[in-house]
Amino acid sequence: MLDQLTAAVQKLSPRLRKIIRNIGWLFADRILRLGVGVIVVALIARYLGPDQFGSLNYTIALVALFRIFATLGLERIAIRELVHTPAKKEEILGTVFILRLLGGTFTWLLAIGTIFLIRPDDTLSHYLVAIIAAGTIFEAFDTIDFWFQWQVKSKYTVLAKNTAFILVTGLRITLITIQAPVIFIALAILTETILGAIGLVIAYRFNRQALLAWRPKLARAKSLLQESWPLIIAGVAIMIYLRIDQVMLGQIVGYEAVGIYAVTTRISSIWYFIPVGIVSSVAPSITEAKRTSETLYYSRLQKLLNLMAVLAYAIAIPITFLAKPILVLMFGESYASGGRVLVVLVWTGIFWFLGICKSQIWIINEGRTKYNLIEKSLGAIVNILLNFWLIPLYQETGAAIATLISYAFVDYLMCFIYPPARVVGWAMTKALTLNFFISSKKI
């Protein structure tokens, strides 16, 4: 059996074998974080209780609303530029790094100003936001990961980030053991980001690359920002419908509701590494296919969507029936009321899995960033309005329903409103209905 598997792998093209190895490293990274991270989060949630755990997640959600100003929507654009103009890699990487460093500093100041404005008397939240938002400055070093993705060498990013993760996991357990205040849990989050940045620098140097060789150019910065500004605005909209539910829950209901909602989002979104890992590995191959022929390009995109649909259903169906027992087992009886919330939230994964393919591949390759801006902005508006309506009525469950409807609207239904995107909409429909699977069975 093992010999047959080895022989089958050897028959694959070198490029495909490299992609499979890269996906393997990304999955190993996420599986480690899935196994260890969930246990640690469960311990933290049990230790802090819904109220304090809610206050921590409220501040994390607030910072996340502004994180796009740190990343500037440059990841896929930067990787595309590296694919098309490899001779300019020092210029591309250097420019992206400086832009992200400035963006991270701006994000830190903006987050601090916002928390002082909306919660002027909440001193603990002021400290939590200042600490957590500082991480966006050090995330500028994630620019190095763009080079590793381009080279299909994600194992180095995995090793760097996981070393930091393992070290800080030990720190978190120690903090729980000594019953440290919640502010020290926030400091541990920042420490992991800093150690991860150091690890990336070491890994980059190990690959005989040097940060000092980077040459940022003003002209390149203008070119990148000219293309990414719609993604920046769209990113704000994305964060609104990803995180505004927790912020609005905190403002309308309270921190305890945020704590219960937060543990359900941990379970429902923990699987999101699957599409991210797959897409980051196959995106260069699909981009190259577009340069060869549209038929090959859409064929590969359809296969990717089909895979995403099958994986999403495989996750959503069993969790629907096991939601409450999972929450009680992991987080304790104080979080049991989140069972019905998880039942709703887990189905958002289907639209997330498919939406990643559309936003990270089709929109980038087709140059439809302005369409991305429009759909995400409309989705944010829909989500805010639904939250204002449903949270006062159903608290955490209302926020979950608002999120599900918003995801379906943005990632799927909008395809049929915008004519050029209908080809992707029908491809998603084929994947959602498992039509491809039924057809293959008939054949």
What's the half-sphere exposure (Cβ side, CA atoms, 13 Å) at 381? 6
Residue 123: the pLDDT is 92
For the chain, the domain total comes to 1
Q: What is the DSSP secondary structure assignment for residue 179, as one 8-state letter? A: T
- Pick the most confident of 355-364, 372-381, 385-394: 385-394
CA–CA gap between residue 165 and residue 177 (Å, rounded): 18
- The answer to whether 136 and 70 have CB atoms below 8 angstroms apart is yes
Q: Can you tell me the distance from the alpha carbon of 22 to that of 25, in angstroms, rounded to the nearest whole number?
A: 5
Q: What is the mean pLDDT of residues 44-53?
A: 93
Instruction: Flag whether 318 is in a domain.
Output: yes
Residue 6 lies in a domain: no
| pLDDT tens per residue across span 103-113 | 999 999 999 99
pLDDT tens-digit readout, 271-310: 887 888 788 778 878 888 878 888 888 888 898 999 999 9
36 close to 168: Cβ distance less than 8 angstroms:
no
Residue 276 lies in a domain: yes
Contact, 192 vs 161, CB < 8 A?
Answer: no
**DSSP label at 420?**
G
Q: Confirm if 122 and 179 have CB atoms less than 8 A apart.
A: no
pLDDT of 436: 58
Q: Does pLDDT of 2 surpass 60?
A: no
pLDDT for res 173? 94
Whether 2 is in a domain gets the answer no
Give mean pLDDT, residues 372-390.
88
pLDDT for position 141 = 92
DSSP string, 204-248: HHHTT--GGG----HHHHHHHHHHHHHHHHHHHHHHHHHHHHHHH
pTM here is 0.78
- Crossing angle between the packed helical segments 38-66 and 218-252, to the nearest 10 degrees: 110
Whether 1 maps to a domain, the answer reads: no
| 3, part of any domain | no
Supply the range of the domain harboring residue 152: 15-438
